[in-house]
């Protein structure tokens, strides 16, 4: 059920401390304004006109992110921790840098600790040493990809032990940079903290190249990953274009959501077939991929296929495995498609020259492009403002072009996927001119 309650942000208590950030409360004085607690951003902007006529209908509101005049924590008492979890993603270092600099320079918080190697850095059995952070240490980190803190999958389910360490370290704030699985762990910690009567703010920052976190406009790193993916796809197109019946086949990351594949296809605008997890397809039969590929080669002499890693799993045996983040491990669709395409044309005695490209981790290990770098630095500072104001169990994000607070519980309640009936997929089908559905029924 979609309700206003979905957007209620948990608070640790009343914010009574005057913020050390000198800003303004009045308009027109050319000084940046504090954000007031009654400022909200509407969530529902895509509406049916008839909804507006219904007196009972009200658009849902989200809390606006930004610095408050009154904050919850006394900056001199704050000890903040930062942890980065899950797979790599462009922009992690940018977020760390922004958090450290905002804490240090804006609030005067001087105790900032990096937790090494994800949630495992909070589990004593691993024996990882915490990393002291300050503006000098983070000065140049945004110029490289990866995470200076290290990362890992798993461990987030050991809520009791994680909270014990957080308590032992005397952390007042924990910034958790991660995707879906990580944020589930963060929410459990935030709940356990409250259950124990502690006053520790847990703030998430949405990291994933898959862009599969629901409710928010985009997770950081996604746009850079698309940028790197376009380079691989452009290479595949050049290869395909230069040979007899050349087929470029590119597999892109995107486990359960085809956003990287769809956006890359629209950015390159040269793909003929895009295969994503959300849209099933047949291989054989008169409306299957292979027949349509044959037609395309007969007409144009070359073809470009983009396949998301989670697509077409219905053609492969399940692995029955999950990774340490709890995600299903899929069979490899790329080599499978390559073999099926080659076998089909060999059988028909038609020459094809298929080049298979899997850019794999290259798309997520680079430093952030400008748009992501900008996004990350703003996410980092908004995360600090939220924490200092005593919010918890929430993540900062962009929604409807505004920075807002979203409850983690809401964000992880569903997965963001490409809607096969929505405008993104419609535009992909239009651009590729692939059949609307490659199913024989
Ligand atoms: O979740 C992000 C992601 O890059 C997925 O697209 C991909 O399936 C997965 O991580 C692979 O990560 P790893 O090999 O590190 O588990």
Please indicate whether residue 209, judged by its CB atom, sits closer than 6 Å to ligand 1.
yes
| Rounded Cα–Cα distance for residues 413 and 272 (Å) | 34
Distance of CA 205 to the CA centre of its chain: 9
Cβ(435)–Cβ(287) under 8 Å? yes
Instruction: Write down the architecture of domain 4-218+366-411 according to CATH.
Output: 3-Layer(aba) Sandwich (3.40)
With tokens 């005695």, the residue in question is 349
Q: What is the CA radius of gyration of the chain?
A: 24
Distance 87 CA to ligand 1 centre (A): 6
User: Is ligand 1 within 6 A of the CB of residue 364?
Assistant: yes
* pLDDT in the model for residue 2: 80
Ligand 1 site-directed mutation target among 87, 145, 151, 228, most atoms within 8 Å of CB:
87
Q: How many CB atoms lie within 10 A of CB 335?
A: 13
Of all atoms in ligand 1, which is nearest to the CA of residue 179?
1
2 catalytic residue (yes or no): no
**What pLDDT sits at residue 52?**
84
| Band of residue 56 on the pLDDT scale cut at 50, 70, 90 | confident
Fold of the CATH domain 222-364+420-432 = Rossmann fold (3.40.50)
pLDDT at residue 120 in the model: 98
Contacts of 70 (CB under 8 A, 6+ apart): 15, 16, 17, 18, 19, 389
| Residue-wise pLDDT tens digits, 400-424 | 999 999 999 999 999 999 999 999 9
CB of residue 302 inside a 6 A radius of ligand 1: no
Does the beta carbon of 228 sit less than 6 angstroms from any atom of ligand 1? no
Q: Whose CA is nearest to atom 13 of ligand 1?
A: 87
Secondary structure E strands in 33-144: 40-42, 61-64, 70-71, 79-84, 111-115, 131-132
| Percent of the chain topping pLDDT 70 | 100
Whether the Cβ atoms of residue 292 and residue 436 lie closer than 8 Å to each other: no
pLDDT digits (tens, 9 = 90+) for 198-250: 999 999 999 999 999 999 999 999 999 999 999 999 999 999 999 999 999 99
Q: What is the C-alpha separation between 356 and 111, in angstroms, rounded? A: 49
Tell me the C-alpha to C-alpha distance, in Å, between residue 155 and each of 62, 99, 109, 181, 337. Answer: 31, 23, 28, 10, 35
Any ligand 1 atom below 6 A from CB of 210: yes
Check: CB of residue 337 under 8 Å from CB of residue 282. no
Query: How sure is the predictor about 154, in pLDDT bands with cuts at 50, 70 and 90?
Result: very high
Tell me how many degrees the CA angle 349-353-359 measures, rounded to the nearest 5: 140
**CA 89 to centroid of ligand 1, rounded, Å:** 9
What are the backbone dihedrals phi and psi of residue 70, each rounded to the nearest 5 degrees, phi first?
A: -110, 130
Q: What is the pLDDT, as a whole number, of residue 370?
A: 98
Residue located nearest, by CA, to atom 16 of ligand 1: 87
Residue 326: pLDDT above 90? no
The residues, any chain, with a CB within 8 Å of residue 66's CB and separated by 6 or more, are 34, 35, 382, 385, 403
pLDDT at 55: 78
DSSP character string of 190-243: HHHHHHTT---EEEEEEB-TT--BSSSS--BTHHHHHHHHHHHHHHHHHHHHTS
> Ligand 1: distance of its center to the CA of 274 in Å?
20
As a whole number of angstroms, the distance between CA 223 and CA 374 comes to: 12
3-state helix, strand and coil shares in percent for the chain, rounded to the nearest 5: 35, 20, 45
**What residue has token string 């849902």?**
60
For ligand 1, whether the C-beta of 254 sits within 6 Å is yes
Please tell me the predicted confidence (pLDDT) of residue 1.
61
pLDDT of residue 190: 98
Q: 231 CB less than 6 Å from ligand 1?
A: no
Report pLDDT for 255.
92
Q: Which residues contact 358 (CB under 8 A, 6 or more apart)?
A: 250, 251, 334
The pLDDT tens digits of the residues spanning 15-26 come to 999 999 999 999
- Among protein residues, the one whose CA lies closest to atom 11 of ligand 1: 87
As a whole-number percent, the residues of the chain with pLDDT over 90 amount to 95
The whole-number average pLDDT for the span 270-274 is: 98
The stretch 331-335 carries a mean pLDDT of 97
Matching CATH topology for 4-218+366-411 and 222-364+420-432? yes
Q: Which tokens is 244 given?
A: 């007899």
Return the DSSP state at 147.
-
> Residue 289 belongs to what H/E stretch?
helix 289-300
- Looking at every residue in the chain, the average pLDDT score rounds to 97
Q: Indicate the domain borders of the chain.
A: 4-218+366-411, 222-364+420-432
List alpha helices for 56-215, DSSP H: 92-101, 159-168, 180-195
Read off the pLDDT of residues 94-152 as tens digits, 9 standing for 90 and up.
999 999 999 999 999 999 999 999 999 999 999 999 999 999 999 999 999 999 999 99
């Amino acid at each position: 059920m979609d309700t206003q309650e979905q957007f209620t942000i948990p608070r640790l208590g009343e914010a009574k401390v005057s913020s050390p950030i000198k800003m303004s409360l009045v308009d027109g004085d050319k000084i940046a304004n504090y954000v007031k607690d009654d400022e909200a951003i509407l969530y529902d902007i895509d509406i049916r006109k008839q909804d507006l006529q219904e007196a009972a209908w009200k658009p849902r509101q989200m809390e606006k992110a930004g610095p408050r005049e009154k904050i919850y924590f006394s900056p001199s008492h704050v000890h903040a921790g930062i942890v980065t979890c899950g797979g790599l993603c462009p922009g992690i270092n940018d977020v760390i840098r922004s958090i450290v600099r905002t804490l240090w320079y804006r609030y005067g918080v001087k105790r900032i600790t990096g937790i090494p190697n994800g949630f495992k850095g909070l589990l004593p059995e691993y024996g990882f040493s915490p990393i002291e952070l300050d503006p000098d240490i983070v000065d140049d980190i945004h110029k490289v990809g990866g995470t200076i803190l290290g990362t890992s999958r798993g461990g987030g389910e050991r809520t009791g032990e994680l909270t014990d360490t957080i308590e032992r370290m005397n952390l007042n704030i924990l910034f958790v940079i991660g995707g879906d699985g990580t944020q589930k762990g963060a929410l459990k910690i935030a709940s356990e903290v409250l259950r124990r009567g502690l006053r520790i703010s847990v703030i998430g920052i949405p990291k994933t190249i898959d862009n599969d976190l629901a409710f928010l406009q985009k997770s950081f790193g996604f746009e850079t990953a698309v940028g790197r993916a376009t380079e691989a796809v452009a290479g595949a197109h050049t290869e395909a274009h230069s040979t007899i019946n050349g087929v470029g086949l590119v597999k892109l990351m995107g486990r359960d959501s085809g956003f990287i594949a769809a956006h890359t296809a629209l950015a390159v605008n040269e793909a003929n077939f895009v295969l994503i997890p959300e849209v099933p397809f047949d291989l054989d039969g008169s409306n299957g991929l292979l027949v349509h590929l044959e037609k395309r080669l007969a007409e144009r002499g070359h073809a470009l296929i983009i396949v998301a890693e989670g697509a077409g799993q219905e053609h492969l045996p399940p692995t029955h495995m999950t990774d340490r983040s709890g995600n299903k491990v899929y069979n490899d669709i790329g080599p499978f498609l390559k073999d099926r395409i080659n076998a089909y044309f060999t059988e028909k005695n038609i020459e094809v020259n298929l080049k298979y490209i899997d850019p794999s981790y290259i798309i997520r290990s680079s430093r952030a492009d400008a748009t992501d770098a900008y996004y990350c630095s703003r996410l980092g500072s908004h995360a600090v403002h939220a924490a200092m104001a005593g919010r918890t169990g929430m993540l900062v994000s962009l929604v409807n072009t505004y920075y807002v607070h979203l409850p983690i519980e809401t964000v992880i309640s569903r997965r963001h996927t490409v809607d096969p009936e929505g405008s993104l997929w419609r535009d992909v089908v239009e651009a590729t001119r692939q059949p609307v559905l490659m199913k024989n029924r």
